[in-house]
């Protein structure tokens, strides 16, 4: 297993719509293992493959640090098939460091996909699990929390990022 580099905004891969996985082969299984190790190493509760530079529809999720009743899982080609209610929660993202913002999402979702073992599965989640599922599926469609924030807040983050970069270059 290996800890992979997590790409940061504005890396172009993060803006891409990711490709469906056609075959659950050793490469995909290895990717899942490495993504899982990378997520835990970064203290994240979810990670999408594009965040480690692989534009494929694969996510790993483990929200147990926030909701101890939940477990780790990986999901291939996840797709939201039902959604209901509304929730607002302060989200962060490993690819958008230093950004933490309240985002509105569905309170409950039902997602179908393929498990790591190749089985068709459906996962129903509410609260933090629903949020994590929607956040990671957003990544697969090239959508970041920045895209779900107000324009003003997004511009503030971009300005702050540019200033930090300039400072780094000057140092």
Indicate the residue among 76 and 93 with the shorter CB distance to Ni ion: 93
Closest to Ni ion by CB, 28 or 93: 93
Which member of 60, 93, 111, 146 binds Ni ion (CB under 5 A)?
93
Residue with tokens 């594009």: 50
Torsion of CA 142, 146, 152, 156, to 10 degrees: -120
Give per-residue burial for 67-76: e unless 16+ CB within 10 Å, then b: eeebeebbbb
Contacts of Ni ion in 29-88 (CB under 5 A)? none
Cβ nearer to Ni ion, comparing 104 with 166? 104
Which is nearest to 62 in space by CA: 140, 128, 122? 128
By rule CB under 5 A, what count of residues binds Ni ion?
A: 1
> Is 27 considered catalytic here?
no
Binding segment (CB under 5 A) for Ni ion, from list 28-36, 93-101, 147-155, 161-169: 93-101
Contacts of residue 99, Cβ cutoff 8 Å, sequence gap at least 6 = 92, 93, 145, 146, 157
Binding mask 118-147 for Ni ion (x = CB under 5 A): ------------------------------
């Amino acid at each position: 297993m290996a800890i992979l580099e997590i790409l940061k905004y504005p890396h172009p891969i993060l803006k891409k719509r990711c490709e469906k996985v056609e075959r659950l082969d050793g490469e995909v299984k290895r990717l899942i293992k490495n993504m899982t190790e990378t997520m835990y190493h970064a203290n994240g509760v979810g990670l999408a493959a594009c965040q480690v530079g692989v534009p494929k529809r694969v996510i790993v999720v483990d929200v147990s640090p926030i909701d101890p009743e939940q477990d780790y899982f990986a999901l291939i080609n996840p797709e939201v098939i039902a959604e209901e209610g509304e929730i607002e929660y302060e989200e962060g993202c490993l690819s958008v460091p230093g950004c933490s913002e309240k985002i509105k999402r569905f309170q409950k979702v039902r997602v179908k996909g393929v498990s790591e073992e190749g089985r068709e599965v459906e996962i129903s989640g509410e609260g933090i699990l629903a949020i994590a599922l929607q956040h990671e599926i957003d990544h697969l469609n090239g959508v970041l929390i920045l895209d779900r924030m107000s324009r003003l807040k997004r511009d503030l983050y971009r300005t702050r990022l540019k200033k930090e970069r300039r400072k780094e270059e000057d140092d």
